[in-house]
Every structure is written in structure tokens, then in C-alpha cells.
């Protein structure tokens, strides 16, 4: 995953353009990703797909003809969606188009101008302060013209028509945590789920932020209604503990599943209620859809100094943290796959587990946990409590409760409730 982050880092991405296509083409080498092109001007609810932006080169030359700002050195140097420019001007005329961070003088900021035609450059504040007076030559060799918005979709069909959504944004240039960590973990999560038996269907979206989710939703209203659980993945490679932003509903199954997994995997995690600001969860959770979609991240956006700066580089993202994020997501998927409701077939007092070889056969903490899990499952499986609810009430990990349920089902002590098929596999 970290190697994929490093490989994608130099590509200049935006909400449209060849950088998005190059990124998706690389992801296609890992998973069965379908790439879709939506023409500029296409209506998407209250929005319109914008014109496509591409850039070949950009620079500012000082009075000696030296490139003091150079897109080829770092693609954050150009304000994303800058219109073409070729001009000479004084430093005073140039300054309104220069963006820096006085409080972080060594970092290049990330700036955009998606929906307002403008142009500009970003640079470290120390470099800005060192610019001498005189005439500067400015060039932004870009195009802004009718084209397409590009997004990728990977659909892994299960035996159920219920969908689980994983969504990440592909619109940021050289930013590793806020962009590439989500892409890398989503890619390897899809690879893992593609190789495993599936009850649920999984839909992975690699989309430009905001306009991408709005466009997808506008074109797939019926498919969206099948989404039973969903997560937006972003900022999941830094050194921080997990942070989960709940869905608009607040008590959806995905909220409970994530809370349960993080309680056991990362006791230092933070929990935040839904708010209508952030990433694409705010589109999926808009009142017309109100989908059960939360947002999984580590340190939240805007709360680490490297956010939206050149400091968000490959060294800021840690391989171990990416691996931990993947493990947590696989655990969440396991909960969603196997959570189900069962009925105790011997509800009149405890069934005798010993004569079935299920109790007291071996010592060890692991076995004792499994025995306790069987008692919890038998006691609470009255057709009303799901395995996840039992895990939450017992304080035991879902995996242990699930293992106990499988044993009890195999010995005829549990029966599926209604159309429940999660353990029949």
C-alpha cells in the first residue's frame, strides 16, 4: 500500500483531467475497476459537471530569467484549475496571485479555484519573502475546456442484493494522507474482498470530491437505495488513532459495527457525531438519500499541521498505519458479513454443552472466552438480538461470538431466524 502511495504521489490530480485517469489506470492494475466518463455540462441535481482541466507546465521566472516557482518541481505550486496565463508583470502585480503560509514558512499550501475562473501559484513563505522587486515572467500552460468528469467503480457481487459502499476521493494532487491513503487502502480492501466468499455485495467508488459523489448519486438513485452500509475512507495513513464520524442516522448498523471493532482494535479512537461538513459522507447522508454512511479516518482533516500542504508527503504516511487501517476495515466487513439473528432451539434452561463436546474440554483463556461466548449466544438468541448486539452486550469481540454461533449452529442448538443466511455458508 505504501508503495502504491509513493507511485501515485507525483501525479497532478484535480476534479477532472488526465491526472485522475492516470490514477485510475494504475488502480485498474490491482482490481477490476470500471472507468466512467461524464460529459461537461451534464446536470447533477443542483450542480453541473464542470469543464475539464489539464496542465502541462507552469512557472514564474524572476528578473534574471530563473524559475523561482516551478510546477515541475512540485505540482502544489499551481492553484488547481488555474486558467491559462502568459504575461509579464511586476512583483506588486504578481503578489495577489501568490499564496503562502506565514505560520508554516517552509511548506507549500494546496489551493483550488474549481468553480471560479482564476489563476495563482503557491510557494513556501520563506521563498515568497526572498523574491526581489522587478519584472517577472508568468506562464501557466493549462487548458479548461469541455471534456469529462472521470470516476472509477469496482463492484463485487455477493449472494445478497444488499450493498456495502466504500468511497474515496481522487481529486487531490501530491497529498498522501488526504487522498492517497484512502485510495491505497480501498484498493487493497477490494483485492481482499474479491478473493473471499461474499454474502453482501461491495461497491467501491474512486471519485472526485463533492462533484463526484453528487454526479454518481444523480445517475444511480436506484442503486443507491440498495446501500445498507457505507464508509468514506480518508486520512487513514498518519500516525494518529482512528476517528470515526457517524452517519446522519447516528445509530445505523455501520455505526455500531465500527464502534465495536474500534473498541477492541484501538481503545484510543475518537467518535464524532455527524455534521454536514467534511467529505463525501455529507452527500450520501443528504436528506433526500439519508444513506447509512459514516467516515473513517485517523487524525481529522485540518487538525494536523501537514494538512493540505507539501508536508503531506510519503514520509508522513506510515506503512504500519495503512496496514492497521486495512485490518480494521476487514474486521468491519467481517461483522457486516456475518451479523445475523438466531433462535435458541433449546431455550428451556441451559442445554448441556459438555455432552456435545462444547464445554470444558480444554483449558486456556481462548477456550474459556469461547465457552462464555456460547453461553451469551444461547441466552440472548431469542430471535430479537443479532450477533453484533450480543457482542456489544457481552463485551466480547464479534469474532468470538461469531465462532461460538457457528459451533452452536453445527450442533443444532441454534436456528436461523426468518430469512437469515449469514451462517448457513
Task: Give 369's pLDDT tier (boundaries 50, 70, 90).
Answer: confident
Task: Give 247's pLDDT tier (boundaries 50, 70, 90).
Answer: very high
Give the closest residue to 399 by CA, choosing from 315, 354, 302, 332. 332
Mean pLDDT across the stretch 309-335? 98
User: Measuring CA to CA, how many Å separate 223 from each of 78, 165, 219, 290, 332?
Assistant: 37, 11, 9, 14, 22
> Helices 182-194 and 319-338, interaxial angle, to 10°?
40
Relative to beta strand 243-245, strand 201-207 is: unpaired
Interval 208-226: pLDDT, tens? 999 999 999 999 999 999 9
Mean pLDDT across the stretch 316-344? 97
CA R_g for the chain: 25
pLDDT at 89: 97
First to last CA, the chain: 31
C-alpha cell at 3: 508503495
Relative to beta strand 121-122, strand 227-233 is: unpaired
| Check whether domain 54-145 has CATH 3.50.30.90, yes or no | yes
Mean pLDDT across the stretch 327-351? 95
Q: Is 162 left (phi over 0), alpha (psi -120 to 50) or beta?
A: beta
| Percentage of the chain modeled with pLDDT above 90 | 92
> Helices 387-394 and 365-380, interaxial angle, to 10°?
120
C-alpha cell at 400: 468470538
Interval 384-411: pLDDT, tens? 999 999 999 999 999 999 999 999 999 9
Kind and range of the H or E run holding 324: helix 319-338
**193 φ, ψ to 5°?**
-70, -30
Range in 54-58, 326-330, 372-376 the model is least confident about: 372-376
Asked whether residue 363 carries a pLDDT value surpassing 70, the answer given is no
Mean pLDDT across the stretch 367-396? 93
Fold category of 341-416 in CATH: Arc Repressor Mutant, subunit A (1.10.10)
pLDDT at 161: 86
Structural domain boundaries in the chain = 2-50+161-338, 54-145, 341-416
Kind and range of the H or E run holding 264: helix 253-265
Kind and range of the H or E run holding 286: none
pLDDT at 409: 95
Coil vs helix vs strand at 227: strand
Is the separation of the CB atoms in 328 and 242 below 8 Å? yes
Q: Is 46 annotated as a binding residue?
A: no
Asked whether residue 370 carries a pLDDT value surpassing 80, the answer given is yes
Q: What does the mean pLDDT of the chain come to?
A: 95
Mean pLDDT across the stretch 274-280? 96
User: Measuring CA to CA, how many Å separate 356 from each of 70, 352, 361, 413?
Assistant: 73, 7, 10, 10
Task: Give 201's pLDDT tier (boundaries 50, 70, 90).
Answer: very high
What's the CA gap between 319 and 338, in Å, rounded?
A: 29
Give the closest residue to 122 by CA, choosing from 51, 171, 68, 55. 68
Q: Where are the beta strands (DSSP E) in 147-193?
A: 148-156, 163-169
pLDDT at 343: 96
**Same CATH fold, 341-416 and 2-50+161-338?**
no
Is the separation of the CB atoms in 294 and 230 below 8 Å? yes
CATH numeric code, 2-50+161-338: 3.40.630.10
Angle at CA of residue 174, ends 74 and 142, nearest 5° = 60
Beta partners for residue 139, in sequence order: 59, 86
Asked whether residue 365 carries a pLDDT value surpassing 70, the answer given is no
Q: Is 308 annotated as a binding residue?
A: yes
Amino acid at each position: 500500500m505504501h508503495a502504491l502511495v509513493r507511485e501515485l504521489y507525483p501525479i497532478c490530480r484535480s476534479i477532472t483531467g488526465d491526472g485522475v485517469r492516470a490514477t485510475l489506470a494504475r488502480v485498474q492494475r490491482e482490481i477490476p475497476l470500471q472507468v466512467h466518463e461524464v460529459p461537461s455540462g451534464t446536470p447533477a441535481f443542483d450542480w453541473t459537471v464542470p469543464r475539464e482541466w489539464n496542465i502541462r507546465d507552469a512557472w514564474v521566472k524572476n528578473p534574471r530569467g530563473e524559475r523561482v516557482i516551478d510546477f515541475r518541481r512540485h505540482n502544489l505550486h499551481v492553484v488547481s484549475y488555474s486558467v491559462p496565463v502568459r504575461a509579464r508583470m511586476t512583483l506588486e502585480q504578481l503578489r495577489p496571485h501568490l499564496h503562502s503560509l506565514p505560520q508554516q514558512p517552509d511548506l507549500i499550501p494546496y489551493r483550488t479555484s474549481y468553480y471560479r475562473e482564476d489563476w495563482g501559484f503557491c510557494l513556501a513563505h520563506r521563498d515568497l519573502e526572498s523574491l526581489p522587486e522587478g519584472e517577472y515572467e508568468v506562464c501557466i500552460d493549462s487548458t479548461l475546456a469541455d471534456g469529462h468528469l472521470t470516476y472509477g467503480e469496482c463492484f463485487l457481487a455477493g449472494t445478497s442484493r444488499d450493498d456495502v459502499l466504500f468511497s474515496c476521493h481522487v481529486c487531490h494532487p501530491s497529498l498522501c494522507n488526504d487522498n492517497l491513503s484512502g485510495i491505497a487502502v480501498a484498493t487493497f480492501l477490494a483485492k481482499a474482498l474479491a478473493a473471499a466468499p461474499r454474502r453482501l455485495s461491495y461497491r467501491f467508488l474512486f471519485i472526485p470530491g463533492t462533484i463526484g459523489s453528487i454526479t454518481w448519486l444523480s445517475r444511480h438513485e436506484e442503486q443507491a437505495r440498495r446501500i445498507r452500509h457505507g464508509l468514506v475512507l480518508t486520512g487513514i495513513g498518519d500516525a494518529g488513532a482512528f476517528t470515526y464520524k457517524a452517519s446522519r442516522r447516528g445509530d445505523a448498523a455501520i455505526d455500531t459495527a465500527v464502534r465495536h471493532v474500534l473498541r477492541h482494535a484501538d481503545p484510543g479512537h475518537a467518535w464524532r457525531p455527524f455534521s454536514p461538513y467534511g467529505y463525501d459522507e455529507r452527500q450520501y447522508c443528504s436528506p433526500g438519500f439519508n444513506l447509512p454512511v459514516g467516515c473513517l479516518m485517523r487524525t481529522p482533516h485540518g487538525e494536523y499541521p501537514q494538512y493540505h500542504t507539501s508536508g503531506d508527503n510519503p514520509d508522513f504516511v506510515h506503512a504500519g498505519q495503512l496496514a492497521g487501517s486495512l485490518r480494521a476495515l476487514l474486521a468491519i466487513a467481517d461483522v457486516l458479513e456475518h451479523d445475523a439473528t438466531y433462535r435458541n432451539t433449546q431455550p428451556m434452561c441451559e442445554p448441556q454443552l459438555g455432552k456435545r463436546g462444547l464445554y470444558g474440554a480444554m483449558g486456556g483463556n481462548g477456550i474459556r472466552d469461547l465457552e462464555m461466548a456460547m453461553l451469551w449466544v444461547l441466552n440472548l438468541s431469542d430471535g430479537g438480538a443479532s450477533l453484533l448486539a450480543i457482542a456489544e452486550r457481552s463485551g466480547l469481540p464479534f469474532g468470538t461470538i461469531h465462532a461460538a454461533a457457528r459451533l452452536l449452529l453445527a450442533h443444532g442448538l441454534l436456528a436461523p431466524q426468518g430469512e437469515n443466511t449469514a451462517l448457513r455458508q
